[in-house]
Amino acid sequence: GKSCPFAGICAEFCYAKKGAYIWSNVKPAFERRLEATKRKDFVDLMIEEIVKKKADRIRIHDSGDFYSYKYLCKWIIIAKHLPNVQFYAYTKSIPFIRILEDSTYSIPDNLKLIQSYGGLRDYMIDLNKPHAVIFDNLYELKRRGYLDASKDDTVAAKPGNIKIGLVKH
């Protein structure tokens, strides 16, 4: 809950509340990562780490979300500093995206924000922009014309793909 201010129904089946995420040796690591995002030098640390790892594609968050507008802006700065790295993130923090659209912080081409259904602000999702829906089964996902990102979500990072589907697990 700390890092998902707009979580809705998704909180009921959130995979970050079960499995390895709650192991006594894993949970503190996620807490440390969350605290690191609040540091003044977070942007510099992330840029340094990404360059060191020679990453060419980064999924921001495997759990959690953009918990504040300021935190989202940090990732925009990181993406702008690393134009050859493709960044992508699923997010229910749709209000922050709408603020961005009216601000001086433009979303760089190498940062794909995928609006994700299941949050408190689903009514704000723009279906003409990248968005993700969780389906009960693969048949329904394909019937509705969504790309299956259930086993390999790197399809979500690719330009042009705006209808991303995931099967509930």
DSSP string, 59-104: ES-SS----SHHHHHHHHHHHHH-TTSEEEEEES-HHHHHHHHTSS
What per-residue confidence (pLDDT) applies to 66? 92
pLDDT attached to residue 85: 97
**Residues contacting 135, CB < 8 A, separation 6+:** 141, 144, 146, 165, 166, 167, 168
pLDDT for residue 6:
60
pTM for the whole structure: 0.87
CB 78 within 8 Å of CB 50: yes
131: nearest Cα among 89, 168, 164, 167: 164
| Model pLDDT, residue 102 | 79
| Cα 63 versus chain centre, distance | 8
**Regions of the chain where pLDDT drops below 50:** none
The pLDDT value given to residue 33 = 85
Give me the amino acid identity at 69. Y
Q: Specify the pLDDT at position 7.
A: 61
